[in-house]
A and B are shown apart, each in its own frame.
Chain A
Amino acid sequence: MRSVVMIKQVPDTYGPVELDSLTGLLDRSSGEQVFDETTERALEVALQQKEIHGGEVVVLTMGPAQAIDALRKALAMGADSGVHILDDDLAGSDAARTSEILAAALRRIGFDLALAGDRSTDGQGGVIPAMVAERLGVAQATYLASLSTDGLSLTGERVTESGVQTLRAALPSVVSVTEKIAEPRYPNFRGIMKAKKKPVDVWSVADLRVQGVAPVGSRIGSVAERPARQAGVRIIDDGTAGRQLAQFLSTSGLV
Chain B
Amino acid sequence: MAAVLVYVEMNEHGPAKSARDLLAFAAGLGEPVAVVVAADSPSRESVAELGSWGAGRVMLTTTPDAGRVLVTPAVDALEAACASAADVAAVLTADTADGREVAARLAVRCGLPYLGDVVNAELRGGDLFVEKSVFGGNYAVESVVSGMAVLAVRAGVNCGSPAPREASVDPLDVGPSVAERTAILDSLPPTGTGGRPGLSEAEVVVSGGRGLGSREQFALVEALADAFGGAVGASRAAVDADYCDPVLQVGQTGATVSPMLYIALGISGATQHKAGMQAAKTIVAINQDAEAPIFDIADFGVVGDVLEVVPQLLNELAAVRR
Contact B181 A217, beta carbon cutoff 8 Å: no
Contact B301 A232, beta carbon cutoff 8 Å: yes
Q: Among B9, B135, B260, which residue has its beta carbon within 8 angstroms of that of A19?
A: B135
With a CB–CB cut-off of 8 A, which chain B residues contact A242?
A: 309-316
Known A231-B297, A237-B309; judge A218-B113 contact (CB<8 A): yes
Q: Which of B290-322 contact A (CB under 8 A)?
A: 290, 295-305, 308-317, 319-321
B187 at the interface (CB under 8 A from A): yes
Q: Which of A124-183 contact B (CB under 8 A)?
A: 124-127, 130-131, 133-135, 137-143, 155, 158-170, 173, 179-180
Q: Among A19, A131, A166, A250, which residue has its beta carbon within 8 angstroms of that of B105?
A: A131
Q: Among A99, A234, A246, which residue has its beta carbon within 8 angstroms of that of B313?
A: A246
| B78-106 Cβ-contact flags toward A at 8 Å (1 or 0) | 00000000000000000011101101110
With a CB–CB cut-off of 8 A, which chain A residues contact B297?
A: 228-229, 231
Contact A96 B302, beta carbon cutoff 8 Å: no
Interface size, chain A (Cβ < 8 Å): 82
A186 at the interface (CB under 8 A from B): no
With a CB–CB cut-off of 8 A, which chain A residues contact B317?
A: 246, 249, 255
B186 at the interface (CB under 8 A from A): yes
Contact B185 A162, beta carbon cutoff 8 Å: no
Contact B113 A167, beta carbon cutoff 8 Å: no
Residue of A nearest to B318 (CB): A246
A204 at the interface (CB under 8 A from B): no
B108 at the interface (CB under 8 A from A): yes
Interface of B is mostly: mixed
Q: Give the Cβ gap from B190 to chain A, nearest Cβ, in Å.
A: 5
Q: Tell me the bound Cα distance from A235 to B301 in angstroms.
A: 6
Q: Tell me the bound Cα distance from A124 to B97 in angstroms.
A: 11
With a CB–CB cut-off of 8 A, which chain A residues contact B112?
A: 217
Contact B187 A163, beta carbon cutoff 8 Å: yes
Contact B284 A245, beta carbon cutoff 8 Å: yes
Interface of A is mostly: mixed
Q: Among B109, B246, B282, which residue has its beta carbon within 8 angstroms of that of A254?
A: B282
Q: Which of B141-149, B168-176, B206-214 contacts A (4 or more CB under 8 A)?
A: B141-149
Q: Tell me the bound Cα distance from A4 to B138 in angstroms.
A: 34
With a CB–CB cut-off of 8 A, which chain A residues contact B298?
A: 231-232, 234
Contact B70 A170, beta carbon cutoff 8 Å: no
Q: Which of B26-34, B37-45, B156-164, B247-255 contacts A (4 or more CB under 8 A)?
A: B247-255
Binding site for B on A (CB under 8 A): 13-17, 19, 24, 37-38, 95-96, 99, 118-119, 121, 124-127, 130-131, 133-135, 137-143, 155, 158-170, 173, 179-180, 215, 217-226, 228-229, 231-237, 239-246, 248-250, 252, 254-255
Binding site for A on B (CB under 8 A): 9, 70-71, 75, 96-98, 100-101, 103-105, 107-109, 111-117, 129-130, 134-135, 137-145, 149, 178-191, 198-200, 204, 228, 246-247, 252-253, 255-256, 260-261, 270-272, 278, 282-284, 286, 290, 295-305, 308-317, 319-321
Q: A134-B109, A229-B278, A242-B311 are in contact. List 4 more A-B contacts (CB 8 A).
A: A124-B252, A231-B296, A246-B316, A254-B282
